[in-house]
Structure 1
């Protein structure tokens, strides 16, 4: 379904807009039927959120858009759920995004420039009680590397040559070339039980079995996900609550009401307009994130194959007004590919400050007059809030704009059928990792430039890939950062897909009911090391 929004809307009217929310991070994947068997659903429904019950209840803003298999899962909600269900040899701390040992006893040990060893912790078991073995580790990596499996994670492991078991506790990794980010990058691979996955991959996708502190009881797409403490977990971050219930509440006002009533102890994606009200009784904090709102152009269609047109539509946006009016100040205008708080932030040589005259000149120089654009937007609530202002800005420079707002899956179906001109959507690959190489490869290598914005055949696109490959093999950190800066400067200047702003992610929680909770700078909520107070 799509909807046309009026050209102008004041703050009060467009902040009332609400809608079902699709996949937050604009990720795609095969949607799995995620409901568990009847017996487990019954157990989940009896779990309450009363104080002292040992149950954490949360309000999640995004429905289940993919299954849980970590090889292919990309939806915001299942990825966050997997933080609790699975472990990698190494995992990222969900708050700091720094790498830390998980199933491994310590960070991988460098044997030589292209060889690493990792040792499993003693007594680690999967949720079915079976031991985690080096064979499971090898299987978990090899299934990602197998091109037949079309794993989303494969693009993050181009350096990996082979994985093999050395003994009953140790795994050896051979690299194609030295890759300084190896110890943290392998966090993209979650370790799965070989026997269970081989027996029924589809069943595993719907009802996953991991080695994490919580096991999945049931999951219903637009209702809830129910977790239970895995008592045999012996890692560093055991579950501190007996049960968790994630209520999937797409409607923003319903999430706020659930928080205000005490039905849940935490919610993500707090509407900016409700932050002050919630702060009277709850903790409310906005974490600056990489998560962005981007413009993506169909570079296979005129006039969007001309970078001047793409640049013009960026310069035409009064981003500061958008942030202030539609987001209550809850974002920062993009001055580079990365947010300013990222440790490797680089101010781009091309920064799209609001410049109406420059936008009009670029359109004139490109020979474009009377352009009409059908702008696709996902129906995430805050994106809908922004939509009328984008139209207002573009109409003001002579670009007649029609808004088509729809569910994420429907909009990306149009994109994948090459039936679009421009898309505005949120994106946040930082749920997989925080290094520049990963954040760049998600959008500019593989699927996105090849089959979505159709830019991969250009000289500039090839240059970006070359720079990323050179940076991946650079042993000197300064040299690596210079190469990354060059790559980000190219995508800023070309703008086939480029951020308009980076969000501050607002989270609310009851500090009197939760102990140890902290908001995360990515889409989702983490309850690792969190207890009911």
Structure 2
């Protein structure tokens, strides 16, 4: 998963995905015109690296599929990332500062035909909150104290403390059937059952995922195609060829070099995302204890050259933690423009004469293109960096043992939520600072946590944004882990074959409210 395996979330690899699920409808849409004419075919960039259980999945591809298979009480619009009710009849109602209630959509059913009940909702949240389950989503809802069923269709949430973003944040928890997920979690992981507009049919790890319309779905976003076949095409050239040949109607992650090559019916659009390339330093390493060294390495980078040369202009240099297009954008008090003289001055002030270390990088194609330019920028200020490029899982295995100097890697938690609290907590609260880059126990980390906690309880949106701005200023100045750039995500599709299709600002493709033309 680009945004999680790249940032080291533990991967729960599930075996035996091949040919799971119920019977497929006739044919699998292999024809260039999309099978029976009501099948959406898509070219997906990543193979199945994990199963589908929404509590633990860390794979980009199953996570995207889950947007179609499962629902939350509240979901994020895949294009705008704005929260909207799905299984709930409306956004959760605030009873008091620490109590909310939600009412389930009448007649909602899971794909096995059973009714969605308040007990299923309670079970879904409790399994996420149970530490034994090591849920990826638990870190996003630490404010929930308990969830109870008021009646068969009403759920009440009691919070440990006031959290102003509660109504939208619970979108991270997808509702699953208790009798199925609770009976055999492993089987559920490979054969997911949700209440969304599409039901899972089958999956083959490096081949395809097949889903079909759930006819009994009665929610706000019914399937507009009878079937979907997601072709798992890791090779970028093959993915581009699949679109141009008409084998698929849309592809994700278009190589930057191919963006200008789409003409006629084949359209491409690069959408600005939160997705970033960040530098992370091991602050427990004596070479990087002084923040002036970390700052110097940022000032030394010729980010404009990196963007124009390696990414062909498809990115924006970081001037804050979130991109300038984000609603919670705050320009950091420290902006790392290319300034070799300042970099040399900071290194000298820190007493560093000859700095040498190994820079780990993940093996994403665009990251590998950037790697020599980083080395070149640092060499210009007298810094010798050896490059170590490997798969992200291998790199993070070493990092989690404390065996690293510095890392350049991609990350994008915005698929889970787009508010600044979630995005800031991902890298600056809990696991990452305490276990990865050695920030635990520092005054700066204590300050960041205090500001984030204060913002979480602040009911006034303006004051919240101001507090997030203070966190941004702090993490920019510290540069323990900080973005270099926010990249654009190019998506391509064949015009006239789909209705309602839009590219996403996050990894993946969405066919919610999309049909075949």
Under a length normalisation based on structure 2, what TM-score does the superposition of the two structures give?
Answer: 0.96
Q: Which residue is 1:185 aligned to? A: 169
Aligned to 1:303, what secondary structure does the other structure show? helix
Q: Which residue is 1:261 aligned to? A: 245
Per-residue CA deviation, residues 134-181 of structure 1 (Å, 9 max, x unaligned), is 001001111111122222211111221111000111001111222211
Q: Which residue is 2:493 aligned to? A: 509
Structure 1 residue 22 displacement after superposition: 9.5
Structure 1 residue 500 displacement after superposition: 0.4
Q: Which residue is 2:9 aligned to? A: 28
Instruction: Quote the RMSD (CA, aligned, Å).
Output: 1.8
In 1, the alpha carbon distance for the partners of 2:204 and 2:29 equals 15
In 1, the alpha carbon distance for the partners of 2:9 and 2:390 equals 15
Q: Which residue is 1:72 aligned to? A: 56
Aligned to 2:146, what secondary structure does the other structure show? strand
Q: Which residue is 2:372 aligned to? A: 388
Contact 2:69 2:199 in 1 (8 A): yes
Per-residue CA deviation, residues 19-76 of structure 1 (Å, 9 max, x unaligned), is x989665342233225435475994983325245311111111222332211112222
Q: Tell me which of 453, 456, 464 is aligned to 1:472.
A: 456
Contact 1:21 1:407 in 2 (8 A): no
Greater mean alpha carbon deviation, residues 371-380 or residues 216-225: 216-225
In 1, the alpha carbon distance for the partners of 2:135 and 2:260 equals 42
Map 1:451-462 onto structure 2 (within 5 A). 451-462=435-446
Greater mean alpha carbon deviation, residues 345-354 or residues 447-456: 447-456
In 2, the alpha carbon distance for the partners of 1:41 and 1:407 equals 34
Structure 1 residue 237 displacement after superposition: 0.8
Per-residue CA deviation, residues 92-124 of structure 1 (Å, 9 max, x unaligned), is 000001010010011111112221110000111
Contact 1:468 1:483 in 2 (8 A): yes
In 1, the alpha carbon distance for the partners of 2:191 and 2:406 equals 37
Contact 1:24 1:62 in 2 (8 A): no
Q: Which residue is 2:347 aligned to? A: 363
* Compared CA separation, residues 75 and 183, structure 1 to 2 (3 A): same
Q: Which residue is 2:484 aligned to? A: 500
Per-residue CA deviation, residues 361-408 of structure 1 (Å, 9 max, x unaligned), is 112222222222211111111111111111111111111122111112
* Compared CA separation, residues 37 and 328, structure 1 to 2 (3 A): closer
In 2, the alpha carbon distance for the partners of 1:447 and 1:33 equals 24
Q: Which residue is 1:7 aligned to? A: none
Contact 1:414 1:420 in 2 (8 A): yes
* Compared CA separation, residues 39 and 222, structure 1 to 2 (3 A): closer
Structure 1 residue 279 displacement after superposition: 3.9
Aligned to 1:83, what secondary structure does the other structure show? helix
Q: Tell me which of 187, 202, 222 is aligned to 2:186.
A: 202
Say whether 1:481 aligns with 2:485. Answer: no
Contact 1:156 1:185 in 2 (8 A): yes
In 2, the alpha carbon distance for the partners of 1:341 and 1:262 equals 34
Unaligned runs of 5+ in 2: none
* Compared CA separation, residues 160 and 41, structure 1 to 2 (3 A): closer
Contact 1:467 1:487 in 2 (8 A): yes
Structure 1 residue 470 displacement after superposition: 0.4
Say whether 1:400 aligns with 2:384. Answer: yes
Say whether 1:145 aligns with 2:140. Answer: no
In 1, the alpha carbon distance for the partners of 2:437 and 2:149 equals 41
Q: Tell me which of 98, 103, 109 is aligned to 1:119.
A: 103
Say whether 1:81 aligns with 2:65. Answer: yes
* Compared CA separation, residues 390 and 280, structure 1 to 2 (3 A): farther
Say whether 1:48 aligns with 2:30. Answer: yes
Aligned to 1:199, what secondary structure does the other structure show? coil
Aligned to 2:344, what secondary structure does the other structure show? helix
Structure 1 residue 424 displacement after superposition: 0.9
In 2, the alpha carbon distance for the partners of 1:462 and 1:429 equals 22
Map 1:48-447 onto structure 2 (within 5 A). 48-49=30-31, 50-51=33-34, 52-447=36-431
Under a length normalisation based on structure 1, what TM-score does the superposition of the two structures give?
Answer: 0.93
* Compared CA separation, residues 511 and 398, structure 1 to 2 (3 A): same
In 2, the alpha carbon distance for the partners of 1:171 and 1:61 equals 38
Aligned to 1:448, what secondary structure does the other structure show? helix
Aligned to 1:327, what secondary structure does the other structure show? coil
Structure 1 residue 91 displacement after superposition: 0.2
In 2, the alpha carbon distance for the partners of 1:222 and 1:420 equals 31
In 2, the alpha carbon distance for the partners of 1:358 and 1:95 equals 40
In 2, the alpha carbon distance for the partners of 1:149 and 1:251 equals 34
Structure 1 stretches of 4+ with a deviation exceeding 6 A read none
Say whether 1:525 aligns with 2:506. Answer: no
In 1, the alpha carbon distance for the partners of 2:390 and 2:58 equals 19
Aligned to 1:166, what secondary structure does the other structure show? strand
Structure 1 residue 488 displacement after superposition: 1.1
Unaligned runs of 5+ in 1: 1-19
